[in-house]
Amino acid sequence: MKLKICGMHHNPTDVAQLQPDYLGFIFWEPSSRYFKGVMPQLPKSIKKVGVFVDATVEEVLEKVAQYHLDTVQLHGKESPEYCLELKENFLSFRAQSRKKKVVPLDGVSTTLDLTNLEIIKVFSIKDDFDFSVLKDYENVCDFFLFDTKGKLPGGNGYTFDWSILENYASTKPFFLSGGIGLESLEKLKEFIKSPASKYCYAIDVNSRFETEPGLKNIKQLKVFQESLSEF
């Protein structure tokens, strides 16, 4: 099971030492975890995820270039057509040239490779969910992510009823998110053993491992990561 730690802001370098599979950086300005400035040097084994909420395609592509993102997570009301447009922009780099020289925020000219950039589309769940809405996204996204519906697009700190995922009719791998913390380990272990987790690709954590928005508790994350590896 892969691990994604989202909401990087104050101590991403410390979190990166845990070697999670994904680190999420939020590029939605109203968020208390909004990321700006220079991206720290991270191990190549960690995929950098840019989290966006109803941003324009141009804005997404700009951040991808500036921060050398490996994955784009769409947390708003982005349509299948929007996702297709993103895909086509990524693929156009492949058609023109497999690699493109860019100058990111740190001013160092490097090589940007968009040929394997992934798209995660987020869907929020409260009491129920109509899985038929996923059909039109099947061919334009690489992963789905299921989060808890709340006041904010993410980071609300509470879980939804995971048994709803027993009705998941797709074979698309998905991320499980929403209020997952150390207190969720037993419930998470049961979920992973259940049929509902058949296509669960990764666990996504955020606010339950913070001492303040964007400041992660490294000790707690380490305990969670070690426990997850034993499932």
Give the tens place of pLDDT for each residue, 193-215.
999 999 999 999 999 999 999 99
Q: Taking residues 175-185, what's their average pLDDT? A: 96
Q: E strands, the chain, where?
A: 2-5, 22-26, 47-52, 71-74, 100-102, 110-112, 118-125, 143-148, 174-176, 200-205, 210-212, 215-216
Number of structural domains in the chain = 1
Q: Which pLDDT score is estimated for 26?
A: 97
Q: Which pLDDT score is estimated for 113?
A: 58
- 23 bridge partner residues: 5, 48
Kindly tell me the number of DSSP H helices and DSSP E strands found in the chain.
5, 12
Of 222, 200, 105, 99, which Cα lies nearest the Cα of 146? 200
Q: Which pLDDT score is estimated for 158?
A: 73
Give the whole-number percent of the chain exceeding pLDDT 90: 79
The mean pLDDT value of the chain amounts to 89
Whether the per-residue pLDDT at 94 is higher than 50: the answer is no
| CATH number of the domain enclosing 177 | 3.20.20.70
Whether the per-residue pLDDT at 95 is higher than 50: the answer is no
Residues 13-55: pLDDT tens digits?
A: 999 999 999 999 999 999 999 999 899 999 999 999 999 999 9
Q: Taking residues 108-128, what's their average pLDDT? A: 77
Instruction: Find the domain containing 181 and state its range.
Output: 2-229
Q: Which residue has the higher pLDDT, 130 or 154?
A: 130
